[in-house]
Amino acid sequence: MTRNSYRAADRNKTHQGTPGSVEDLAGHRSTALTQIAADAEKQAAFLELNLWQYPLSSVNLTATFGQYGLWSSYHTGLDFNGDTGDPIYAIANGVVTAASYDGPYGNKTVITLDDGTELWYCHQTSFSVSVGDTVRGGDVIGTVGATGNVTGSHLHVEVRPGGGDPVDPYAAMQQHGLFRD
């Protein structure tokens, strides 16, 4: 065997020793990049749609909008069952425009969205945000409680477009991607 053929053999051996590895690596990397791009696209679409998030980690509705019964007129919000101390998450991005005690609503946080819609979170035990704070959907804004006019701990949510009269939060939440299943 000549030196040249040795070299050639070595080269071949080196190449054969790692069959397809370069291609595999490139394949993995391009899959990973595709995945990252897809995730980013999904996130961008999510933000563009202004999708909302559930305010509690476990969703169990106990009273709906427009019901008559315990309330002075009809029920002006949507009640989520929760235990005192459970974290309350911001449903959407916005600015805190109130965080104080408000009679029958108890400890109430109001977050005003970009379009002027107010989201009310009521009967809280504690506040985690103050007026002027900017919050992102999913941020903890306080804890569930039983302050104000209640028979037990829960989160009462109201949706008030333009800060006006309350609309059905369930329908509003459906428009923003919740309760679709």
Q: Does 86 bind Zn ion (CB under 5 A)?
A: no
Q: Which stretch binds Zn ion (CB under 5 A): 3-11, 47-55, 148-156, 173-181?
A: 148-156
In the complex, the smallest distance separating the C-beta of residue 31 from Zn ion, rounded to whole angstroms, is 48
Q: Would you tell me how many other CB atoms lie within 10 Å of the CB of residue 177?
A: 13
Nearest to 177 by CA among 22, 47, 41, 1: 47
What angle (nearest 5°) sits at the alpha carbon of residue 93, between those of residues 81 and 105?
A: 40
Q: Does 158 bind Zn ion (CB under 5 A)?
A: no
Nearer to Zn ion, 93 or 143 (CB): 143
What does the alpha-carbon distance between residue 62 and residue 52 come to, in Å, rounded to a whole number?
20
Instruction: Out of 108, 156, 160, 176, name the contact with Zn ion by CB under 5 A.
Output: 156
Q: Are β-strands 126-127 and 87-89 bridged in parallel, bridged antiparallel, or unpaired?
A: unpaired
Shortest Å, Cβ 45 to Zn ion: 32
Which DSSP string do the residues of 94-127 spell out, in sequence order? Answer: EEEEEEEE-GGG-EEEEEE-TTS-EEEEEEESEE
Terminal CA-CA length for the chain:
72
Beta carbon nearer to Zn ion, 156 or 176: 156
Q: Check binding of 123 to Zn ion (CB under 5 A).
A: no
In one-letter notation, the amino acid at residue 47 is: L
| Least distance from Zn ion to the Cβ atom of residue 117, Å | 18
Q: How far is the CB of 80 from Zn ion (least distance, A)?
A: 9
Q: Which residue is nearest to Zn ion (CB)?
A: 156
Residues that bind Zn ion (CB under 5 A): 77, 79, 156
